[in-house]
Structure 1
Amino acid sequence: MTLAERAFERLHAWPDLSAGRPSCGTGPALRSVHGEIVHFHSDRDVDLHLTGRAIERFASDLQGSTAIHLVPGSRWVTVHLDCDTDVDLLLSLVSMALKAHQGQQTQQGQQGERTAPCNFRRVTVVPRDIPA
């Protein structure tokens, strides 16, 4: 079982998430009542939808991780799964995303941000074990 399959299986068991097709059309996705949350594009690459506020709040932490890739202006972050710790990081970030989207809807009193295109084909990930 790949790391992405393991992460999908664990997240799919969460009561706030349901499986579906991603808006980008590639790989399985999980969504909440507030919209798309995570796209599984390959055995190792996953896009996670955060709110702009959450990205701003945690930008320095996100940028400090070798597993996380940010695209300027995107509300999606790409998580590259190289080990079990990266899966744990993804699960923590999904939890944060669910809370952020729920909080945003509560503040706005309506549907949260529209889901913008994910980072699929906008991020190139070089495996950590290959020297740059």
Structure 2
Amino acid sequence: MTLASRALAQLATWPDLRQAVPSCGLGQGLSSLQGEIVHFHSDRDVDLHLTTRAIRRFADDLRSAGAIRIVPGSQWVTIRLDAASDVDLLMTLVSVALQAQQAWPDPAGRPEIGCNDQRGAGFVRVVPGWI
């Protein structure tokens, strides 16, 4: 069992999440009542919808996590699952994402960009000053 399949199986048991087809059409996804939360694109890459405000709020912590990639302007972060600790990080961030969707929804009228998988191969590590 891969780290991604183990994480997906664990998250699928959470009462606030339900399995869903990712809007990008690639892989497997989970949604809450507020919308898409997570897309599992491969055995290692997971896109998580944190919301713009949550990414800004936790920018310093996200910067320090080597498993996280952020695309400037995206409401999603990409998590690379290389170790069991990355799965633990994903679980924590899914919890943050669920809370963020309720407490800090993205501004009305802002177009939904979709997950980072749709934004091409140009993933970049977050750098100071972009937020």
TM-score range, shorter chain: 0.7 to 0.9
2:71 and 2:123 in contact (8 A); partners too: no
* TM-score computed with the length of structure 2 as normaliser: 0.85
Separation of aligned partners in 2, 1:113 and 1:6: 34
1:51 and 1:100 in contact (8 A); partners too: yes
Paired-residue identity, %: 58
SS of residue in 1 equivalent to 2:104: helix
Write out per-residue CA displacement over residues 59-109 of structure 1, whole angstroms, 9 at most, x where no aligned residue: 11101111000000001000000010000000000000000101135xx8x
* TM-score computed with the length of structure 1 as normaliser: 0.85
2:29 is aligned to 29
Separation of aligned partners in 1, 2:88 and 2:3: 10
Separation of aligned partners in 1, 2:19 and 2:48: 14
Separation of aligned partners in 2, 1:87 and 1:30: 15
2:114 is aligned to 117
Separation of aligned partners in 2, 1:112 and 1:21: 23
Q: What amino acid sits opposite 2:104 in the alignment?
A: Q
Query: Does the C-alpha gap of structure 1 residues 86 and 123 become closer, same or farther in structure 2, counting only changes over 3 Å?
Result: farther
2:53 and 2:104 in contact (8 A); partners too: no
Show structure 2 runs of 5+ residues with no match.
125-131
Q: How much has 1:38 moved relative to structure 2?
A: 0.1
Q: What amino acid sits opposite 2:40 in the alignment?
A: F
Separation of aligned partners in 1, 2:121 and 2:111: 19
2:104 is aligned to 104
Separation of aligned partners in 1, 2:109 and 2:13: 24
1:89 is aligned to 89
SS of residue in 2 equivalent to 1:55: helix
SS of residue in 1 equivalent to 2:116: coil
2:6 is aligned to 6
SS of residue in 2 equivalent to 1:26: coil
Query: Does the C-alpha gap of structure 1 residues 124 and 72 become closer, same or farther in structure 2, counting only changes over 3 Å?
Result: closer
Show structure 1 runs of 5+ residues with no match.
126-132
Q: How much has 1:20 moved relative to structure 2?
A: 0.9
1:39 is aligned to 39
RMSD of Structure 2 on Structure 1 (CA): 2.2
Q: How much has 1:31 moved relative to structure 2?
A: 0.2
Q: How much has 1:116 moved relative to structure 2?
A: 2.3
